Structure 1
């Protein structure tokens, strides 16, 4: 499916990371991080990345790029950057035989197919169960998720937009929090609360409920730090609430896809609050899915702790392309 060397890229609204798989079976060799604001378009960033490697970098013959957004149509506008990404244009700019553009959670799901236990930190006591569907998700700048579903001899990767589904309270305290929680476009969605900006919103709402006075939002990293070192009781309570809410959504996704082989949590937040997830009500919320509580108790949940899970997944897609079925923008040079 891909002609080697294969250029791989993990492109977000702020930064784009590029690497090169020189030979089939290899892992990507990192090239560089490029700020999207520093380049007029993705081809400019790719050219700069290849140039930084000097004579070491062989000329890529194909490319697979993961982007943080929906992949519909021949040209994709990044949500939080000015770039427009078109696989055909990039392929023509660099003389490639093919170019594929996928949602950023497609490679994370592909990487979960053969993820090693030492690349995971379990949340709960459940051992992995082979052969079933898996779900990968991640609260970060936004909230992404995908499922890896066995289908005959293949593994189908199903992208989702779960982050933009409505999300409501489940008890009296959450009712109070929801009443003062900042809305986004007049909605409270999964991403409204389970993301970096969502952590800041939750903290402001929790402090408002506990003090009876509106509270200014603070930086999400400051919420995490204050909650972990117990310097701010509202921040500590916010992290515990975040863990319970994340457990509930993970359970919903596990039920939706019958993910009996596990739920894998990536993104930038979960590794930082691993202890909170392990000690909070995450698993209780995950399992509280009557009448399927017994099934839920057997589904493992883990935090992905390996670096660059997207790069590893891109390597899996490039090296074992026939193993996976997934949606993406695909351009191939006419023979």
Structure 2
């Protein structure tokens, strides 16, 4: 499917990461990180990235790009940025023979098929269980999720829009927080609370509930820092609530896909709050799924700690694509 060298890209709402796979089976080589807001379109960012690859680097001949958005047509708008991604246009701009565009959690799921133990930090004491379905998800600029499901001799990757499903309170305190939470398009979704912007919304709502006064949102990184060093009690409580909500959603997705081989958490937030996940009610919220609590106790959960996890998955899709079945936009130069 792919001619080498293959351009790979992991395009999110904030950053786009580009790299090259020089030959089949080779490890991906990171070329650069490009801030999405600094470029008017993906070709501009790719052009800037390839300029950093060096004059001696051969140009790419095909591409596979993972984007933070729903891949549902020839032109795809990113969910949390202004870019419109079109595989045919990118192929024309760089003289490529083919371009494949997938949802950003498709390669994370592909990478989870053979993830190394040292690239994963367990949360809880559940040993890995081979042979079953797996779920990968992650709170970052938005919230992404996909499932990796064994199907005959293949691994089917199921993209989802789980971040845009509704989520509600589970106890009296959460109900108060929900009344104070900022809504997005008059909804409270998984992404509304389990994302960087969601962390800021949760902090403002928790502070409102505890003080009785409305609070302005602060930067999500400031919430994380203040929560980890215990300089702000509202931030400490916010991180604990974030962890419980994440555990609940992880459990819901594990039930949805019967992910007996594990739920793996990526994104930019989880690796920073590992201690909170380990010490909070994350696992309790994950397992509290009667009548299937016993099954849930045996499902492992862990945080993906390898940097740029999508790159390993993009490499697997480019070099060993026949192993996987997945949905994406495919453009090939006419014969």
Aligned to 1:267: 267
Query: Whole-Å Cα distance in 1 between the matches of residues 215 and 35 of structure 2?
Result: 33
SS at the partner of 1:121? strand
Aligned Cα root-mean-square deviation (Å): 1.1
Query: Whole-Å Cα distance in 1 between the matches of residues 152 and 159 of structure 2?
Result: 19
Aligned to 1:308: 308
Asked whether the 8 Å contact 2:80–2:142 carries over to 1, the reply is no
TM-score by length of 2: 0.98
Query: Whole-Å Cα distance in 2 between the matches of residues 43 and 203 of structure 1?
Result: 37
Q: Which structure 1 residue ranges, 5 or more long, are not aligned? A: none
Per-residue deviation at 1:36? 2.9
Aligned to 1:179: 179
Aligned to 1:221: 221
Q: Which structure 2 residue ranges, 5 or more long, are not aligned? A: none
Per-residue deviation at 1:97? 1.4
Per-residue CA shift, 1:133-162, capped at 9, x if unaligned? 000000111111000000100000011111
- Number of positions where the alignment pairs a residue of Structure 1 with one of Structure 2: 335
Aligned to 1:234: 234
Aligned to 1:78: 78
Per-residue CA shift, 1:283-312, capped at 9, x if unaligned? 000000000000000000000000110111
Aligned to 1:209: 209
Aligned to 1:114: 114
1:87-98 superposed matches below 5 A:
87-98=87-98
1:1-335 superposed matches below 5 A:
1-335=1-335
Per-residue CA shift, 1:55-91, capped at 9, x if unaligned? 2321211100011101111111223333221111111
SS at the partner of 1:56? coil
Query: Whole-Å Cα distance in 2 between the matches of residues 51 and 205 of structure 1?
Result: 45
Relative distance call for 1:257 and 1:48 in structure 2 (3 A) is same
Runs of 4 or more consecutive aligned structure 1 residues displaced over 6 Å after TM superposition: none
Q: Relative to structure 2, which stretch is displaced further, 209-218 or 313-322?
A: 209-218
Query: Whole-Å Cα distance in 2 between the matches of residues 235 and 49 of structure 1?
Result: 37
TM-score by length of 1: 0.98
Q: Relative to structure 2, which stretch is displaced further, 27-36 or 199-208?
A: 27-36
Q: Relative to structure 2, which stretch is displaced further, 97-106 or 82-91?
A: 82-91
